[in-house]
Structure 1
Amino acid sequence: MYQISELAESVGLSRATLLYYEKLGLLKGKRQANGYRVYSDADRQRLRLMQQLQAGGLSLKECQACLDGKLDRDMLGQRLAVLEAEIAKKTRSRDLLAALLGQSSLKDWHEKVERVAPDLHRAWLMTQGFSSKEAARVAWLSKDMNEHDDYMARFMEVFSELDWWGPATEAASRKALAMVPFAPERILEIGCGPGMATTTLAEATAAQILATDTEEGALDRLRNEVNTRDLGDRIEVRNMDMAQLPMPDVPWDVIWAEGSAYIIGAERALRDWRPLLRPGGVLVFSEMVWRTETPPENLRAFWASEFPGMTRVPDLLGHAKRAGYRVLGHFDMGREAMDTYYRPLEARVAEMGSRLDGSRVLDDLRAELAAYHACDGLVSFEMFVLQKP
């Protein structure tokens, strides 16, 4: 027989806990003539069994039901479902903390935050020490702040030899330029890359052009091209962040952004860039769009992670009108624009495959190339020509 203090010590509980159990009817001691409670070994074993049931997440009431009758399998099933949900939640918490500490990839987390809170995501990255430019790159390209530097080094190794950094053609640029209802004198090009459209704009107009990007290697290539063509008096090349463009002393006649608005999102680009235009000024931009209302699930899932803002032409036209633009025209740039970008990229990836084997850059580019081959007729680039009233 055990006195209450002895029983409490033997099962690792406090005297007050055993008195509470007695009050609930979970434990029934025998009171002796001297007033002390005593308990049998059966009581001790009952407590031990109850502790094992509690380890399964059962409440005291549920433990009592199991001890005094048959197991309620429905109740146990419900408790198991709750426990599994709690474990899944805690596992996600554990995985995120490990990723934030650099022990695993943050890619999925960055993708999710970019979808639900893109502006705050980039602001938060800047509080972690990234510049505005690098925060944007983490958000839409490397998607892992812990591996960003290595990812970007490998990424730029692939793209350093490519002339086209996005789907485009000279013919499409000239067609869009023909929709501008005046001869522009000043053009701001946003996301110029190595100069895909810059020299075409210089050849087709007499405008002064400010070509901007944040990739210094691409800008150096464009500077060399400008010098080779003796266009230094008309083209200025400058490292500028499209998310932090200053108000110009003189508003721009035309803002040109082929394949770059997605970096900050088309809706934000339409909103933020409009004040930089003069009244009657024109914004020209291209954007990847769905050509179907029911894309295959595998393609939808891929582009949702790589390009979460991708939508259809009517949606983008709606964004443009709500942002205060008049639509002068738009057109499908066609398969040729996709091929101009992806075929040289595919050859470059094949050339560098052995050197990049095992890197996420290689995996990401191969996945994008597979999507390119699978999405003919389902996805393409649309050129938009919009006017500020």
Structure 2
Amino acid sequence: MIEESHAFEVFLDVQSGLPRQGPGDARSTLNALALCRGLPARPTVLDIGCGPGLQTLALAGALEGKITAVDLFQDYLDALADRAEAVGHGDRIEILAGDMTSLPFPDESFDLLWAEGSAYIMGFEAAFRGWRRLLKPVGCIAVTELTWLRPDPPHEAAAFFRTEYPAMTDVETNLATIEACGYDLLGHFTLPDAAWWDDYYAPLEAKLPALRQRYAGDTEALAVVETTAREIDVRRRFGKSYGYEFFVARKAG
């Protein structure tokens, strides 16, 4: 059995230094933003689980309002701070270390909530329910979620995600959940395959040989590395059966 604390340290090492901590790209971020109808000229935005913040910067480039970016891990926040300063958005992005399950903001603080690849940590339904109080009336929310795209996924892919993400479901179920949580759907779409590779899996896969060498002889650590390698392999072979879906909705009255 992998020791939880050691496994988590190794996981963070595996993920360190990457452009993103999950699938995504600037075009998809902007396409989702275009679905957010009715935003004010200078919206208040909360990016939840921002990681190193490539999507935060895309939002800052497209919007004139203030963005608050929250993540649990300071290393990611430091990377975002450096990137924001480098492109001249440092004064418009407030960076905050915090837990998405207990966000320290008053009710109805934000016009737009953003969560790319992070809501699964809290749980898709729990996130939509728990974060709803933060939205102003008719405020918008945009979330990406790992989702089955076909009803009969290959056995190997299904077996992998039964272990790695057992809560994973299909688009229709997620749409029903969004409505049940008190939102009106504005649109949804599947991230392109390139959004998995260019800023995430390609640089992650390039790290694997060095990680195997670093943890040679450490069975527990190598198990984490090899799970990552298997995840990439599953995507390469079975990627048409699942994807990241962008869901965009508005707080219902």
Q: Is the partner of 1:151 in helix, strand or coil?
A: helix
Match of 2:165 in 1: 307
Which stretches in structure 1 are left out of the alignment for 5+ residues? 1-104, 106-143
CA distance in 2, matches of 1:354, 1:207: 46
Give the TM-score, by structure 2 length. Answer: 0.92
CA distance in 2, matches of 1:334, 1:230: 29
Flag as ranges the 4+ runs of structure 1 deviating above 3 A. Answer: none
1:62-211 map, 5 Å: 105=1, 147-181=3-37, 182=39, 183-211=41-69
The reply on whether 1:353 has 2:209 as its aligned counterpart is: no
Q: Is the partner of 1:283 in helix, strand or coil?
A: strand
Structure 1 or 2: more helix by fraction: 1
CA distance in 2, matches of 1:229, 1:162: 18
* Aligned pair partner of 1:384 in 217, 225, 247: 247
Structure 1 or 2: more strand by fraction: 2
Amino acid in the other structure paired with 1:382:
E
The reply on whether 1:298 has 2:161 as its aligned counterpart is: no
CA distance in 1, matches of 2:32, 2:180: 22
Q: Aligned-pair distance for 1:250?
A: 5.1
Q: CA RMSD in A?
A: 1.5
CA distance in 1, matches of 2:209, 2:188: 35
- Asked if 1 retains the 8 angstrom alpha-carbon contact of 2:107 and 2:135, the reply is no
Larger radius of gyration: 1
Q: Is the partner of 1:329 in helix, strand or coil?
A: strand
CA distance in 2, matches of 1:245, 1:202: 21
Match of 1:343 in 2: 202
The reply on whether 1:375 has 2:231 as its aligned counterpart is: no
Fraction of identical pairs, as percent: 37
The reply on whether 1:230 has 2:88 as its aligned counterpart is: yes
CA distance in 2, matches of 1:169, 1:326: 25
CA distance in 2, matches of 1:286, 1:250: 22
* Aligned pair partner of 1:240 in 98, 121, 124: 98
CA distance in 2, matches of 1:384, 1:375: 22
CA distance in 2, matches of 1:371, 1:253: 37
The number of residue pairs the alignment matches comes to 245
* Aligned pair partner of 1:331 in 189, 197, 210: 189
- Asked if 2 retains the 8 angstrom alpha-carbon contact of 1:214 and 1:239, the reply is yes
Give the TM-score, by structure 1 length. Answer: 0.61
Which stretches in structure 2 are left out of the alignment for 5+ residues? none
The structure, 1 or 2, with the larger RCO (C-alpha pairs under 8 Å, 6+ apart) is 2
CA distance in 1, matches of 2:187, 2:107: 29
